[in-house]
């Protein structure tokens, strides 16, 4: 496996985003990158999605359009509307 230190892994995560993309760049598996992140105590970028999704729903409820929200968070319109629909449905079940 390629030798990668903590700082290099953090930089790759910021640049490439996913464990899969980092693994492909380094010629290792997604799981190997996942294990390295855990070893170094680096959280997954996905961990921040719940916070982002709450902001998206709040903006939608305040009257912003899906298109405006998608641009703000650099998401596709369809992904933005899926996040909104999923979170609104989840809130109704509570």
> What is the per-residue pLDDT across 30-83, written as a single tens digit (0 to 9) for each?
999 999 999 999 988 887 888 999 999 999 999 999 999 999 998 999 999 999
* Residue 2, pLDDT above cutoff 80: no
pTM: 0.62
Confidence band for 92, pLDDT divided at 50, 70 and 90? confident
* Residue 94, pLDDT above cutoff 80: no
What is the domain partition of the chain in residue ranges?
6-43, 48-93
Contact yes or no for 1/28 (Cβ under 8 A): yes
**Distance, CA of 19 to CA of 10 (rounded, Å):** 11
Average pLDDT over residues 3-20: 91
Q: Where are the alpha helices (DSSP H) in 1-94?
A: 6-16, 19-26, 30-40, 49-61, 66-73, 77-93
pLDDT at 90: 79
For domain 48-93, give the CATH number: 1.10.10
């Amino acid at each position: 496996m390629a030798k990668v230190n903590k700082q290099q892994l953090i930089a790759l995560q910021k640049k490439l985003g996913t464990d899969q993309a980092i693994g492909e760049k380094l010629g290792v598996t997604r799981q190997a990158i996942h294990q390295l992140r855990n070893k170094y105590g680096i959280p997954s970028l996905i961990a921040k999605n719940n916070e982002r999704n709450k902001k998206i729903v709040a903006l939608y409820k305040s009257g912003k359009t899906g298109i405006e929200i998608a641009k703000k968070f650099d998401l596709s319109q369809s992904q933005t509307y899926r996040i909104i629909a999923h979170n609104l449905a989840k809130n109704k079940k509570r």
